[in-house]
Amino acid sequence: MHKQNRIFVAGHKGLVGSAIVRRLEKEGYNQLITRTSKELDLRDKRAVDHFFQTENIDVVFLAAAKVGGIVANRDYPAEFIRDNLLIQTNVITAAHEAGITKLLFLGSTCIYPKFAPQPMKEEYLLTGELEQTNEPYAIAKIAGIKMCQSYNRQYGTNYISVMPTNLFGINDNFDLHSSHVLPALIRKCHEAKKNGSSSIEVWGTGTPRREFLYSDDLAHACVHLMETYDGNDIVNIGVGKDISIAELVEKIKAVVGYEGKVIYNTDKPDGTPRKLVDVTKLHSLGFEASTSLEEGLHETYRWYLENYETQAVN
């Protein structure tokens, strides 16, 4: 990847895509190409083909996806598998047909088996049953990985796939129906504090353990790997340590300044018991995340406060 490359960042308005844009700009890449979903529907093959045929793109960061937490995955499984398969198939195919040899595909650690040994190594892919609550999304992402690897083997492309752990940060989704656990908890605590509520409800038992990576660290890792990594194997991106949901709630309460009680609704699902990735390969490739969970929480809450009115309409 070179500074003069024309780089398409798919999904540049989202949590991951916006962080990648910030990182690329910081490192002096100034020929960035972006389109909103209204300007270019990546589910539309004809539109995607025309876009790649006319824009002279050199490099692709495929960060566009339909994403969400337990509630959204439970309620919209058809959309999760359909939209993600369409997006990644259209973009990867069009990139190859346009002669683009360097592409980064963003997967997810939900591709690993529900009861995978911890921490999860890259080779655990397809060694066991998936977590049922997000299986359609995970299957779509696995298909994307295999598509990249297949194009590499058959056509000699250099399409790399990275598996980020649970993400949070600037431009996160705080909608209580479709967001992931961390931004949802920030909003719940903030609104409870604002409204004087004595308690908040949290789904599950609070015992599942999760790893959380600040989105700007993910973006830094993605750019680093696009500049230095040419392998066909997937690469985990994480921090290498986890925390229970109950511990996370207490940290968020402290950042927000909320002092109410936490009521755990044990009738609701916990999801996977533990999700921690092995980052040995990432470290061997010269990258380690540098933002602490507390620092990232403060930055995310600061952004949420500054943008609260737009988020509150969701």
- The mean per-residue pLDDT over the stretch 213-231 comes to 97
Is 14 marked as a binding-site residue? yes
Q: Is the pLDDT of residue 313 over 60?
A: no
Band of pLDDT at residue 264, cut at 50, 70 and 90: very high
Active site residues: 137
Give tens-digit pLDDT for 92-127.
999 999 999 999 999 999 999 988 999 999 999 999
- Find out whether 165 is annotated in a ligand binding site: yes
State percent of the chain over pLDDT 90: 86
In the chain, the domains with their CATH numbers are 7-312 (3.40.50.720)
Give the pLDDT confidence score for residue 314 in this predicted structure. 47
pLDDT value, residue 61 = 98
| Residue range 64-101, pLDDT digits in tens | 999 877 777 888 899 999 999 999 999 999 999 999 99
Whole-number Å distance between alpha carbons of 35 and 54? 14
Average pLDDT, the chain: 94
Give residue 128's pLDDT.
96
**Does 296 belong to an annotated binding site?**
no
Annotated ligand binding at 106? The verdict is yes
Quick check: 311 pLDDT over 70?
A: no
What is the predicted pLDDT for the residue at 193?
96
